[in-house]
Amino acid sequence: MASPSHASEYPHYDAQVLLNSQPVIVTVIDPSTHKIQFQNQTGLKKFGDITGQTCYDKIAGYPSPCDFCRMSEAMASDTVVSSEVPLPGNQFLLVHWAKASTVDGRTHIVETITDITEYKRTAQALQQSQKMEAVGRLAGGIAHDFNNLMMVVIGHAHRLLQQLATHPAKREIELISQAGLRAAALTKKLLTFSRRQVFEPKELDINASVRDMEDLLQRMIGEHVQMVVVLHPEAGHAMMDPVQFQQILMNLVVNARDAMPDGGLLNIETDRIDLDEQFVRLHPGAMTGSFVKILVQDAGCGMDPETLSHIFEPFFTTKGPDKGTGLGLATVYGILKQSQGYIDVISQPGQGTRFTVYLPRIGQPGAALPVVQTAMAPVAARETILLVEDDDSIRTLMATVLQDQGYQVLVASDGIQALQQLQLHKGLCHLLVTDVIMPRMKSTVLVEGMKVMQPAARILYMSGYAGETLEANGIHENTPFLQKPFLPSTLLEKVQELLKSNK
Q: Which residue, 316 or 481, has its beta carbon nearer to ligand ATP?
A: 316
Partner touching 263 among Mg ion, ligand ATP, none, CB below 5 to 8 Å by kind: none
The dihedral built from the CA positions of residue 379, 382, 383 and 389, taken in this order, carries a sign that is: positive
Write down the least CB distance from residue 338 to ligand ATP, Å: 17
Rule CB under 5 A: is residue 300 a binding residue for Mg ion? no
Among Mg ion, ligand ATP, none, partner that 311 touches (CB below 5 to 8 angstroms by kind): ligand ATP
Which is closer to ligand ATP, CB of 343 or CB of 399? 343
**164-181 per-residue burial string, b: 16 or more CB within 10 A, e: under 16:** eeeeeeeeebeebbeebb
Contact 40, 32 (CB under 8 A): no
In this structure, are residues 184 and 154 in contact, taking their beta carbons and an 8 Å threshold? Answer: yes
* Stretch in the footprint of Mg ion (CB under 5 A) among 219-227, 237-245, 323-331, 470-478: 323-331
Q: What are phi and psi of 61, to 5 degrees?
A: 80, 25
What minimum distance in Å lies between the beta carbon of 297 and ligand ATP?
Answer: 9
Task: Pick the closer one to ligand ATP by CB: 52 or 222.
Answer: 222
CB closer to ligand ATP out of 119 and 315: 315
Q: What's the sign of the alpha-carbon dihedral 187, 189, 195, 196?
A: positive
Report the distance separating Cα 196 and Cα 463, nearest Å: 10
User: Does 328 engage in binding with Mg ion (CB under 5 A)?
Assistant: yes
Q: Are strands 289-298 and 342-347 parallel, antiparallel or unpaired?
A: unpaired
Whichever of 98 and 254 has its CB closer to ligand ATP, that residue is: 254
Distance separating alpha carbons of residues 29 and 96, to the nearest angstrom = 12
Contact 331, 193 (CB under 8 A): yes
> CB under 8 Å to 201, separation ≥6 — which residues?
239, 240, 241, 339, 369
Nearer to ligand ATP, 29 or 303 (CB): 303
We find the least distance from the C-beta atom of residue 154 to ligand ATP, in angstroms, to be 22
User: What is the closest distance, in whole angstroms, from the C-beta atom of residue 147 to Mg ion in the complex?
Assistant: 23
Strand 431-435 to 408-412 pairing? unpaired
Q: How far is CA 116 from the centre of its chain?
A: 27
Transcribe 121-156 into DSSP letters: HHHHHHHHHHHHHHHHHHHHHHHHHHHHHHHHHHHH
Shortest spacing between CB 210 and Mg ion, in angstroms:
19
Asked whether position 43 contacts Mg ion by CB under 5 A, the answer is no
CB of 264 to ligand ATP, least distance (A): 11
- Give the nearest distance from C-beta 109 to Mg ion in angstroms: 49
Minimum CB–partner distance for residue 325 and Mg ion (Å): 8
Which partner in Mg ion, ligand ATP, none is near 330 (CB below 5 to 8 A by kind)? ligand ATP
Between the alpha carbon of residue 295 and those of residues 151, 232, 357, 413, the distances in Å are 38, 11, 6, 49
Query: Which residue from 255, 270, 297, 463 is in contact with Mg ion, where contact means CB under 5 A?
Result: 255
Whether the link from the prior residue into 365 is cis, omega within 30° of 0, is no
Is 409 in a helix, a strand, or coil? Answer: strand
- DSSP 3-state of 485: coil
CB of 343 to ligand ATP, least distance (A): 11
Q: CB of residue 184 vs ligand ATP: minimum separation in angstroms?
A: 16
Stretch that binds Mg ion, among 148-156, 271-279, 322-330, 369-377 (CB under 5 A): 322-330
Question: Among Mg ion, ligand ATP, none, what does residue 353 contact (CB within 5–8 Å per kind)?
Answer: ligand ATP
Sign of the torsion formed by the C-alpha atoms of 50, 53, 56 and 61: negative
Instruction: Name which of 255 and 405 has its Cβ closer to Mg ion.
Output: 255
Binding mask 199-238 for Mg ion (x = CB under 5 A): ----------------------------------------
**Closest CB to ligand ATP among residues 185, 379:** 185
Q: Residue 318 or 444: which CB sits closer to ligand ATP?
A: 318
Which CA distances in Å does 145 have to 76, 388, 470, 490?
Answer: 61, 18, 17, 20
* 8 Å CB contact between 483 and 455: no
**Of the two residues 340 and 348, which places its CB atom closer to ligand ATP in the complex?**
348
Q: Rule CB under 5 A: is residue 247 a binding residue for Mg ion?
A: no
187 binds Mg ion (CB under 5 A): no
Name the site residues for ligand ATP (rule: CB under 6 A). Answer: 251, 255-256, 259, 298, 300-303, 307, 311, 316-319, 324-330, 353
Which entry of ligand ATP, Mg ion, none binds 340, CB below 5 to 8 A by partner kind? none
- Residue 24 DSSP symbol: S
Output the smallest distance, CB 426 to ligand ATP, in A.
Answer: 54
* Contact flag: residue 488 with Mg ion (CB under 5 A): no
Check: CB of residue 57 under 8 Å from CB of residue 63.
yes
Q: How many CA atoms lie within 13 A of 75 on its CB side?
A: 14
Whether the CB-CB separation of 273 and 358 falls below 8 Å is answered with: yes
Minimum gap (Å) between residue 253 Cβ and ligand ATP: 9
Phi, psi torsion values for 224, nearest 5 degrees: -75, -15
> What does the binding site for Mg ion look like in residue numbers (CB under 5 A)?
255, 328
